């Protein structure tokens, strides 16, 4: 049986002809051997030599290990391995993030990054609105967007949810959203909630304030377009998808369906199962890139190690930078920093993000304000204003009592 080597170390491949991934590998095997078994498993091989693999098939479809740097392996997959009309993200992931996570020979492996060639990118819509589109809708050209997640996560009636949204808008917030666990439970039916929230948003607009609320329509694949269409007909101005539970294909379906005319807010609930272990799983970076490719307009990317969720500042910064990368040919996507945020963190988050193009959200950091939702929203808005103006929050708080109370309660620096 002919033996094949997947090692092409140092080879320069054409980035338009390969999907290139980097993996961090932990193994007792020599790294070259581990990299070969990875390339074999994910492309033309398996755990043993096989009589059915011919050289011409191997040459055309075999993965190429083009770099090994310590425990980081760079693997180039020929574009011919991918099937875009039927397949798309599910098939891409089966290759670049499939069986490899369970291989005995590799103790741990983490997909750190993925570079999609033009021939694959052109099969995906990218954001329809993106940063510029969201800013235009909100008439907020420069300042960071500032939002809330309605709290409690579940349990409020449609009327109380709409009241929360209205109060948030009166406090200056530009965005609000359903939480990831709220969809169409009996205590808060989707239709009643969407209608009531639309009334709040319309009222705010008539009073001179523009605001978006993302309605969570995450559901089974065969129903998602229908549910999104209904939500839109009931007045939804933005819809939200829990991407890792609903699937990337859900975003793509919504982004490509011409009947859906509102921006898509992408929540990443469950990401910790993939992203948290620094040595195993999938980093947020390729997930963020896929969300953008599939058509997300705003994507949760982490809080740069500052909020309640585990996250490393430099990794989260890479996620944010990827949202702005113009070389991929898509509109830029709004990075959303959310999870355990309070007003006293806002300036640090903006500084660490390195951009004013960011949406900062607080659930508890708004609803937990002793003065109620409106004052909580004012505290968050004031924090964003201060950061935008480059004024230290404690200084700004001297003339902004809602911020002052928030800083006293949750701290600053």
Pattern of binders to ligand 3PG over 300-319, x per CB under 6 A? --------x-----------
Q: How far is the CB of 179 from ligand 3PG (least distance, A)?
A: 5
Candidates 267, 289, 300, 375; catalytic one? 267
Q: Does 332 bind ligand 3PG (CB under 6 A)?
A: no
The per-type count for the chain, helices as H runs and strands as E runs, is 18, 13
Q: How far is the CB of 363 from ligand 3PG (least distance, A)?
A: 3
Q: How far is the CB of 340 from ligand 3PG (least distance, A)?
A: 4
Cα separation, 199 vs 312, in Å, equals 39
Q: Does 339 bind ligand 3PG (CB under 6 A)?
A: yes
CA distances from 6 to 44, 236, 367 (A): 10, 51, 55
- Judged by CB under 6 A, which stretch of 137-145, 204-212, 287-295, 362-370 contacts ligand 3PG? 362-370
CB nearer to ligand 3PG: pick between 37 and 361:
361
Whether 267 sits among the annotated catalytic residues: the reply is yes
Q: Does 149 bind ligand 3PG (CB under 6 A)?
A: yes
Whether 17 sits among the annotated catalytic residues: the reply is no
Q: How far is the CB of 55 from ligand 3PG (least distance, A)?
A: 51
DSSP code at position 153 = S
Cα separation, 144 vs 150, in Å, equals 19
- Judged by CB under 6 A, which stretch of 164-172, 195-203, 273-281, 361-369 contacts ligand 3PG? 361-369
Q: Does 78 bind ligand 3PG (CB under 6 A)?
A: no
* Region label for 411, one of left (φ > 0), alpha (ψ between -120 and 50) or beta (otherwise): left
Q: Does 17 bind ligand 3PG (CB under 6 A)?
A: no
Q: Is the peptide bond before 152 cis (omega within 30 degrees of 0)?
A: yes
What are the φ/ψ torsions at residue 365 (nearest 5 degrees)? -70, -5
Q: Tell me which of 364, 385, 403, 406 binds ligand 3PG, using CB under 6 A.
A: 364
CB 307 within 8 A of CB 136: no
Cα separation, 72 vs 24, in Å, equals 4
Q: Does 179 bind ligand 3PG (CB under 6 A)?
A: yes
Q: How far is the CB of 365 from ligand 3PG (least distance, A)?
A: 6
Q: How far is the CB of 393 from ligand 3PG (least distance, A)?
A: 18
Element (H, E) at 92: helix 88-96
Cα separation, 191 vs 273, in Å, equals 32
Hey, how many other C-beta atoms are within 10 angstroms of the C-beta on 49? 12
- Judged by CB under 6 A, which stretch of 24-32, 69-77, 333-341, 398-406 contacts ligand 3PG? 333-341
DSSP code at position 101 = G
Residue 189: burial class (beta carbons within 10 Å; 0-12, 13-18, 19+): middle
Two tokens, residue 154 = 């579940």
Say how many residues touch ligand 3PG, by CB under 6 A.
13
List the 72-78 sheet strands across, edge first: 64-69, 72-78, 18-26, 108-115, 281-282
Q: Tell me which of 365, 369, 396, 403 binds ligand 3PG, using CB under 6 A.
A: 365
Q: Does 340 bind ligand 3PG (CB under 6 A)?
A: yes
Q: Does 198 bind ligand 3PG (CB under 6 A)?
A: no
Contact residues for ligand 3PG, defined by CB under 6 A: 149, 151, 179-180, 308, 338-341, 362-365
Report, as residue numbers or ranges, the catalytic residues: 151, 267
């Amino acid at each position: 049986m002919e033996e094949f080597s997947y090692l092409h170390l140092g080879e320069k491949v054409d980035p338009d002809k390969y999907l290139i991934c980097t993996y961090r590998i932990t193994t007792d095997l020599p790294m070259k051997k581990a990299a070969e078994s990875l390339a074999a498993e994910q492309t033309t091989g398996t755990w043993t030599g096989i009589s059915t693999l011919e050289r011409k098939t191997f040459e055309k479809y075999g993965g190429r290990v083009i770099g090994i740097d310590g425990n980081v392996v760079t693997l180039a997959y020929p574009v011919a391995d991918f099937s875009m009309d039927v397949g798309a993200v599910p098939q891409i992931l089966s290759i670049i993030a499939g069986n490899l996570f369970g291989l005995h020979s590799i103790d741990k492996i983490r997909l750190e990054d993925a570079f999609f060639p033009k021939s694959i990118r052109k099969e995906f819509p990218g954001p329809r609105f993106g940063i510029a589109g969201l800013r235009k809708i909100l008439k907020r050209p420069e300042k960071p967007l500032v939002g809330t997640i309605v709290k409690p996560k579940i349990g409020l009636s449609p009327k109380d949810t709409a009241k929360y949204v209205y109060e948030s808008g009166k406090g200056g917030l530009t965005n609000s959203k359903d939480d990831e666990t709220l969809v169409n439970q009996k205590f808060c039916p989707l239709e009643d909630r969407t209608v009531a929230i639309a009334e709040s948003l319309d009222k705010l607009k008539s009073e001179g304030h523009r605001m978006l609320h993302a309605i969570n329509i995450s559901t089974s694949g065969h129903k998602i377009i229908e549910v999104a269409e209904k939500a839109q007909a009931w007045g939804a101005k933005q819809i939200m998808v829990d991407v890792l539970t609903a699937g990337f294909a859900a975003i793509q379906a919504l982004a490509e369906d011409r009947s859906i005319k509102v921006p898509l807010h992408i929540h990443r609930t469950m990401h910790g199962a993939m992203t948290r272990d620094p040595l195993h799983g999938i980093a947020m970076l390729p997930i963020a890139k896929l969300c953008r490719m599939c058509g997300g307009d705003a994507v949760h990317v982490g809080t740069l190690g500052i909020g309640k969720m585990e996250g490393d500042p430099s990794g989260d910064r890479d996620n944010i930078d990827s949202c702005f990368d113009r070389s991929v040919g898509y509109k830029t996507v709004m990075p959303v920093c959310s999870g355990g945020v309070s007003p006293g963190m806002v300036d640090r988050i903006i500084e660490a993000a390195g951009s004013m193009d960011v949406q900062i959200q607080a659930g508890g950091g708004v609803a937990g304000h002793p003065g109620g939702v409106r004052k909580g929203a004012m505290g968050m808005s004031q924090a964003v204003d201060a950061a935008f103006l480059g004024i230290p929050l404690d200084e700004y708080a001297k003339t902004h009592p809602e911020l002052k109370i928030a800083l006293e309660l949750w701290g600053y620096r």
